[in-house]
Amino acid sequence: MYKTLEPLHALPPEGSRPVTTADGELLGHLMYHSYLGTIDYDGETLDQAIQEMSETLTGKYGKVNFPASLAVIDGGTAVAAVIFVDHAKLGMPLLAFTMTHPKFQGRGLAQGLITSCLRNLQEQAFAECCLVVTKGNRPAEDIYKKLGFSLTRGTGPGVSP
Ligand SMILES: CC(C)(COP(=O)(O)OP(=O)(O)OC[C@H]1O[C@@H](n2cnc3c(N)ncnc32)[C@H](O)[C@@H]1OP(=O)(O)O)[C@@H](O)C(=O)NCCC(=O)NCCS
């Protein structure tokens, strides 16, 4: 899915801070608990989730856009996070991970974080970004549609037909 970026006024959710290279373990725990039992869960262990996040932060899916990637921290634990990487082939940011801990879901954290990240990307002068979502991941599909992501590139507000 694609989204044309436009100027946005959005305050990040309380407790947000930019993601750093040192967040592998913190985000690994979040990833494990967020994906467990969902359509995208393939039986990964906690250790594998920590490894996946550590590798993601060191460029497994492309260079991480750290200033535009945010995590919400509560009592030393990551409860939600959004990670954007550079999609070298498309030349635009790719939303690689959106995760909210089950205990914190349904409070608007993912929507708030993604909106703030989109504002950061727009401020970095990106015109567009993209993501990949598993068909049938309703919570994610609903958020992305609500935020204006579309299956067609170059559509949406601010773009002439
Ligand atoms: C997808 C995910 C990040 C949503 O996190 P969240 O913080 O609960 O989302 P929000 O509270 O910001 O929800 C915003 C909107 O998403 C939709 N939504 C959220 N949870 C939903 C659910 N269980 N079913 C259907 N729609 C849902 C709703 O449209 C909601 O809008 P509303 O508040 O007006 O009802 C979370 O469910 C998650 O971590 N899932 C596992 C990881 C994953 O699949 N990530 C996406 C990979 S592409």
**115-146 per-position pLDDT tens digit:** 999 999 999 999 999 999 999 999 999 999 99
Please report which confidence band the pLDDT of residue 156 belongs to, taking 50, 70 and 90 as the band edges. Answer: low
Position 157 scores a pLDDT of: 53
Domain span holding position 69: 2-146
The Cα 26–Cα 78 span in angstroms is: 6
- The number of the ligand 1 atom at minimal distance from the alpha carbon of 131 is 48
Q: What is the pLDDT of residues 9-59, one digit of tens each?
A: 889 999 999 999 999 999 999 999 999 999 999 999 999 999 999 999 999
**Within a domain: 152:** no
Q: Is the pLDDT of residue 93 over 50?
A: yes
16 assigned to some structural domain: yes
Contact 80, 111 (CB under 8 A): no
- Domains in the chain: how many in total? 1
Q: Give the mean pLDDT of 104-123.
A: 97
Residue 161 lies in a domain: no
Atom of ligand 1 nearest to the CA of 133: 48
pTM of the model as a whole: 0.94
β-partners of residue 94 are: 85, 130
Q: Does 80 score more than 50 pLDDT?
A: yes
Cβ–Cβ < 8 Å for 97, 81: yes
Are 16 and 114 spatial neighbours (Cβ–Cβ below 8 Å)? Answer: no
Q: What is the dihedral of CA 106, 54, 62, 76, to 10 degrees?
A: 40
Q: What is the domain-level CATH number for residue 99?
A: 3.40.630.30
**Ligand 1 pocket: which of 142, 145, 146 to mutate (most atoms within 8 A of CB):** 142
The yes-or-no verdict on residue 159 having pLDDT over 50 is no
